[in-house]
Structure 1
Amino acid sequence: MAVCCYVASCERSGEAVVIDPGGDEERILDYVQGRQLRVRYIINTHCHPDHCCGNGPVRAATGASIVMHEADIAYAADPRVAGYFAMLGLPASPPADIAVVDGDTVSFGQETLTVLHTPGHSPGGICLYSAPHCFTGDTLFVNGVGRTDFPGCSYERLVESIGTKLFTLPEATIVWPGHAYGGTSSTIGREAANNPCL
Structure 2
Amino acid sequence: MKYERIPLGPLQTNGYIIYKDREGLIVDPGGEADFLLGRIKELNIKVHAVLLTHAHFDHIGALEKVREELQCPVYLHEAENEWLENTKLNGSGVFPGIEEISCKKAENLWTEEGEKEIGPFAFYLFETPGHSPGSVTYYFLHENLAFSGDVLFRGGVGRTDLTGGSQEVLLDSIHEKLLLLPDETEILNGHGPETTIGEEKETNPFINGFGW
TM over 0.5: yes
- The answer on whether the counterparts of 1:18 and 1:41 sit within 8 Å (CA) in structure 2 is yes
1:194 positional shift: 1.0
Q: Where in structure 1 do 4 or more consecutive aligned residues deviate above 3 Å?
A: 74-80
1:106 positional shift: 3.7
Q: Tell me, what secondary structure is at the counterpart of 2:177?
A: helix
Q: What letter corresponds to residue 139 of structure 1 in structure 2? A: V
Give TM-score, length-normalised by structure 1. 0.90
- The answer on whether the counterparts of 2:85 and 2:104 sit within 8 Å (CA) in structure 1 is no
Give the aligned partner of residue 93 of structure 2: 86
1:166 positional shift: 0.3
Cα distance change on mapping 1:27 and 1:78 into 2, 3 Å = closer
Q: 1:134 and 2:146 equivalent?
A: yes
Identical columns (%): 30
What is the alpha-carbon distance in structure 2 between the residues aligned to residue 159 and residue 74 of structure 1? 25
Q: Tell me, what secondary structure is at the counterpart of 1:86?
A: coil
- The answer on whether the counterparts of 1:116 and 1:126 sit within 8 Å (CA) in structure 2 is yes
Q: Which has the higher helix share?
A: 1
Give the aligned partner of residue 189 of structure 1: 198
What is the alpha-carbon distance in structure 2 between the residues aligned to residue 157 and residue 106 of structure 1? 27
Cα distance change on mapping 1:78 and 1:56 into 2, 3 Å = closer
Cα distance change on mapping 1:80 and 1:178 into 2, 3 Å = closer
Give the aligned partner of residue 71 of structure 1: 79
Q: 1:6 and 2:32 equivalent?
A: no
1:15 positional shift: 1.7
Q: What letter corresponds to residue 46 of structure 1 in structure 2? A: H
What is the alpha-carbon distance in structure 2 between the residues aligned to residue 136 and residue 81 of structure 1? 20
What is the alpha-carbon distance in structure 2 between the residues aligned to residue 35 and residue 125 of structure 1? 29
1:112 positional shift: 1.4
1:167 positional shift: 0.3
Give the root-mean-square deviation of aligned CA atoms.
Answer: 1.7
1:113 positional shift: 2.3
1:107 positional shift: 2.0
Cα distance change on mapping 1:168 and 1:120 into 2, 3 Å = same
What is the alpha-carbon distance in structure 1 between the residues aligned to residue 63 and residue 84 of structure 2? 14
Deviates more, 1:152-161 or 1:69-78: 69-78
Give the aligned partner of residue 98 of structure 1: 108
Q: Tell me, what secondary structure is at the counterpart of 1:197?
A: coil
Deviates more, 1:84-93 or 1:50-59: 84-93
Cα distance change on mapping 1:40 and 1:173 into 2, 3 Å = same
What is the alpha-carbon distance in structure 1 between the residues aligned to residue 196 and residue 35 of structure 2? 27
Give the aligned partner of residue 107 of structure 1: 118
Deviates more, 1:39-48 or 1:66-75: 66-75
Runs (5+) with no aligned partner, structure 2: 1-10, 208-212
Higher RCO (CA < 8 A, seq sep 6+): 1
What is the alpha-carbon distance in structure 1 between the residues aligned to residue 85 and residue 35 of structure 2? 29
1:10 positional shift: 2.2
Deviations 1:48-86 (A, max 9, x none): 01101211010111001010011111455668525x541
Cα distance change on mapping 1:106 and 1:27 into 2, 3 Å = farther
What is the alpha-carbon distance in structure 2 between the residues aligned to residue 69 and residue 106 of structure 1? 16
What is the alpha-carbon distance in structure 2 between the residues aligned to residue 157 and residue 138 of structure 1? 13
